[in-house]
Amino acid sequence: MCRCTDKSDDATLSSSNNTATVDDIISGINKVSLEDGSNKTPPRGIIGGENINSEKKSTSCDQNLESTDQVGVDTSSGSAADSDMVSKEADSDADTLEICANCGKEGANNTCNKCEQVKYCNAVCKKRHRHKHKKDCEEHLRCVAEVQEEEIRRDAELHDLELFKQPPTIDDDCPICFQRLPFLDTGKRYKPCCGKVICSGCIHAVELSDEDALCPFCRTPTPYTEDENVRQLMKRVDAGDAEGINNLGFYLSNGMNGLSQDYAKALELFHRAAELGNITSHYNLGNVYYNGRGAKIDKKKAINYYELAAMRGLVEARHNLAIIEKRRGNIYIGRAIKHYMIAVEGGSNISLANIQKFYSCGRVTKDEYTKALRAYQKYLDEVKSTQRDHAAAAREDYKYI
């Protein structure tokens, strides 16, 4: 404030000095003119211009601030007025959009039922304008349908890219021999005492050396009765073990280990295990909805669960998807073969047998069949062992290939 005041005072002083100088000059000019005998006076415009400029120069800092504030007020009020005008124009445009396509009256609210692009006053105008609007309406619907079909096609392509890409290997290594677990359920066992999945070769080796048949991993005695097995399993369920929850659901679904068949409870357990990330439970849910055991048959939902399990590496789910595609008709055989090929890489000998059938009837090329044989041989090299061979020879339920 002090600086502004000082500058204002200086400006005023400067302005007064300039004014005095100009007056002297004018009076001198007039005196010279009188002496020369001339009555001419300087043009008033020049004098007025000088006075106006001097007045502008004498404007103080406070006056500038005041003028600035006034401009700001004027600008804001102008913006408000402009915004009001814009809003009025928007309202006017909105009203213009609702003009009857037939008679041109405003306030039309009866929309075309098909394209919803034009409006009418009433049903009478809509009927009268139908023959004119029919072609545009059909063209609009055709364009919309093409866009939707393209979106569906693109979504299907992206889905297939995810579905048919190489899945991860679901079977971990045996925690005892550190060799890949086999695909067949008879080649491995889930131990409810510790929650580990152990290959049949390691289990059989412990059975030969230990009369008590202790668990190869945690050394807990193996239960001999169904009640003891269920009690151990329930401990795993209470601990939140996803594999144990899925196994209990499987026992209830099939009425195994002395448990009464309970589809509803089994379905609940499958969903619970799936939420915990168990892959096999997705496959079991697919079976429930595909066969209607515990829930209403829903093929679409079943396929969705199969696909979730297959994309995460479950061979059984991949094999089921191949069967479903094959049943849909010849145009889907190519998709079925893709599923079979991926299942073979995971160790499914049944899928390999189906590839062989397709090769014999000419639906699979020699290169594709050779690729399947090599993939299955690679799987065998990873799971075969002398210990597992001994177990398979000793007991049929220890078969692993």
What DSSP letter does each residue of 299-367 carry, written as one string? HHHHHHHHHHHHHTT-HHHHHHHHHHHHHT-GGGHHHHHHHHHHHHHTT-HHHHHHHHHHHHTTSS-HH
pLDDT in tens, 233-269: 999 999 999 999 999 999 999 999 999 999 999 999 9
CA atoms within 13 A on the CB side of 111: 7
Phi, psi for residue 182 in degrees, rounded to 5: -75, 165
pLDDT of 39 = 44
Q: Which two tokens stand for residue 338?
A: 């893709």
CA distance 369 to 353: 10
Cα gap 188→247, rounded to integer Å: 14
Query: At how many degrees (to 10) do helices 242-254 and 279-291 cross?
Result: 20
Pull the structure tokens for residue 266: 């089994």
- CA–CA gap between residue 187 and residue 73 (Å, rounded): 87
DSSP state letter for 396: G
Residue 63 neighbours by CB under 8 Å, 6+ apart:
8
Instruction: For residue 301, count CB atoms less than 10 angstroms from its CB and return exposed for 0-12, middle for 13-18, buried for 19 or more.
Output: middle
Determine how many CB atoms are found less than 10 A away from the CB of residue 213: 14
Among the listed residues 143, 102, 139, the one whose alpha carbon sits nearest the alpha carbon of residue 123: 102
- In the chain, which stretches have pLDDT less than 70? 1-97, 171, 211
- Give CA angle at 129 (126, 132), nearest 5°: 145
pLDDT tens profile 78-121: 444 444 544 445 444 444 458 898 888 888 888 898 898 888 98
Q: Taking the model in full, what pTM does it have?
A: 0.68
Give the pLDDT confidence score for residue 126 in this predicted structure. 85
**Pairing status of strand 110-111 against strand 119-120:** antiparallel
Beta-carbon-side half-sphere exposure of residue 31 (alpha carbons within 13 Å): 6
Taking the CA atoms of the chain, what radius of gyration do you get in angstroms? 45
The DSSP secondary structure of 71-128, one letter per residue, reads HHHHHHHHHHHHHHHHHHHHHHHHHHHTB-TTT--B---EE-TTT---EESSHHHHHH
DSSP codes of every residue in 174-238? -TTT--BPPSSGGGEEEETTTTEEEEHHHHHHHHHH-TT-B-TTT-PBPP-SHHHHHHHHHHHHH
How high is the pLDDT of residue 23?
53
Q: What pLDDT shows up at residue 156?
A: 86
DSSP 24-38: HHHHHHHHHHHHTT-
pLDDT value of residue 44 = 36
